[in-house]
Amino acid sequence: MKVMIVEDDEKVREGIADGLRALRHEVVTCGTGSEGLGMAMTRNPDFILLDLGLPDLDGLDVLKMLRTTLTTPVLITSGRDADAQIVRGLGLGADDYLVKPFTVSVLNARMMAVTRRCRQASEQEELRIGGLVVDPRGHTAELDGRVLPLRPKEFRILAYLVENAGRVVSKSELRAEIWEDEMSCADKTLAVHLSWLRRHLGETAAAPAYLHTVRGVGIKVVNPGR
């Protein structure tokens, strides 16, 4: 897998690169946000590791710009460990968030988990319920013919819920499926993603159409026409 590392600390950057090369990944590196944006377009990486504390651009701004054109998996690697930073990074389109320091083995495991999830989604057929159409292969969702501008995590949550339509999915199951590790996602992080998703669907928790909360149990998708 070709991995692009965007990290300004040369020692950290080369340490990660050497570790990933030892695991037989192809690695390209850069030290600034502007270099990363250019390299993402010209080198076509399969996976992007993005630091937030870059010298020229904030990593979150880089992430936003990447997400305007690319669906390449992005894992944030940062020393910023505040919940607000993690929630914002995930909300802007990161597929995972790993707080420094970490080992290359843990990083690689996270990368493989994200890649596996993306591959499984791409192999699924189009999912339909009511006026909602979810295309895992194209990573798109439409509601009554209108394309929904979903962030990657929002899309995965919706796809998983639609795939399990009619069944109550617990919050712990959602966290384990979407974030791969139930403990890596706080309740409020999931709540934020569900709130954004409901907004795209034109509904609220109090007045649901597709996403229905079963108090104390979880969430289920239903056909609003039935």
CA distances from 187 to 54, 172, 191, 205, 210 (A): 29, 9, 6, 16, 21
Tokens for 70, please give them: 């690319």
For residues 2-34, b (16+ Cβ closer than 10 Å) or e, as one string? ebbbbbbeeebbeebbebbeeeebebbbbbbbe
pLDDT at 101 over 50: yes
pLDDT at 217 over 80: yes
Contact 146, 205 (CB under 8 A): no
123-151 confidence digits (pLDDT tens) = 566 888 999 999 887 889 999 999 999 98
Helix (H, G, I), strand (E, B) or coil at 115: helix
Average pLDDT for residues 77-81, to the nearest whole number?
Answer: 91
Average pLDDT for residues 4-30, to the nearest whole number?
Answer: 95
**pLDDT of amino acid 107:** 95
CA dist 15 and 174 (Å) reads 33
Of the two residues 44 and 5, the one the predictor is more confident about is 5
Nearest-CA neighbor of 105 among 12, 4, 16?
16
Of the two residues 36 and 165, the one the predictor is more confident about is 36
pTM over 0.85: no
Q: What share of the chain is helix, strand, coil (3-state, %, to 5)?
A: 45, 20, 35
Least trusted range by pLDDT, from 20-24, 45-49, 115-119:
115-119
- Name the burial class of residue 128, with classes exposed (0-12), middle (13-18) and buried (19+) by CB atoms within 10 angstroms of its CB: middle
- Summary mean pLDDT of the chain: 89
SS (H, E, C) 36-102: HHHHHHHCCCCEEEECCECCCCEHHHHHHHHHCCCCCCEEEEECCCCHHHHHHHHHCCCCEEEECCC
| Residues paired with residue 142 on neighbouring β-strands, in sequence order | 133, 147
User: Where residue 7 falls among pLDDT bands split at 50, 70, 90?
Assistant: very high
Nearest-CA neighbor of 203 among 222, 189, 218?
222
Listed in order, the ranges of the chain carrying CATH 1.10.10.10 are: 125-221
Assess if CATH 3.30.160.110 describes domain 2-121.
no
- Give the percent of the chain with pLDDT over 70: 92
User: Where residue 189 falls among pLDDT bands split at 50, 70, 90?
Assistant: confident
CA dist 178 and 126 (Å) reads 19
User: Where residue 182 falls among pLDDT bands split at 50, 70, 90?
Assistant: very low
Give me the CATH topology for the region 125-221: Arc Repressor Mutant, subunit A (1.10.10)
In the chain, what's the furthest Cα-to-Cα distance?
59
Listed in order, the ranges of the chain carrying CATH 3.40.50.2300 are: 2-121
